[in-house]
Amino acid sequence: MVKTDKLLKIIEHYGEDHQRYKAAEELSELQTLLLQDANQNGKVPLSRIIEELADVYVTLKQIELIYKIDSRDTGPLCDAKVERTLKRMVSE
């Protein structure tokens, strides 16, 4: 993954507000591409999905830095959400 100091340099250059908007933009682009792929039965090139996913990873890491969120804080919550979904699947 990209080094924190490089991401902080980007945040400092563009500003936190700009990078918040950039993260939202990148999430939207990935969402659009995934919906397009689902509607076309998997015909969107994997390379495009990988590229958008990389953009999302980079901008989400910047969001963690902007808000001073440690991945150790989100990890347990992510685990709990996965477990909740697995439990729901059993009752379906």
17-60: pLDDT as tens digits? 999 999 999 999 999 999 999 999 999 999 999 999 999 999 99
Contacts of 30 (CB under 8 A, 6+ apart): 49, 52, 53, 55, 56
pLDDT tens for 50-78 read 999 999 999 999 999 999 999 889 999 99
Which helix (DSSP H) or strand (DSSP E) does residue 73 occupy?
Answer: helix 71-91
Burial 46-60 (b: 16+ CB within 10 A, else e): eeebeebeebbebbe
Which residues constitute the domain of residue 64?
4-91
For the entire predicted model, the pTM comes to 0.89
Query: Which residue type, as a one-letter code, is found at position 12?
Result: E
Residue 3 has phi, psi (to 5 degrees) of: -70, 140
Q: Which two tokens stand for residue 56?
A: 């999302």
For the chain, the domain total comes to 1
The CATH number given to whatever domain includes residue 31 is 1.10.287
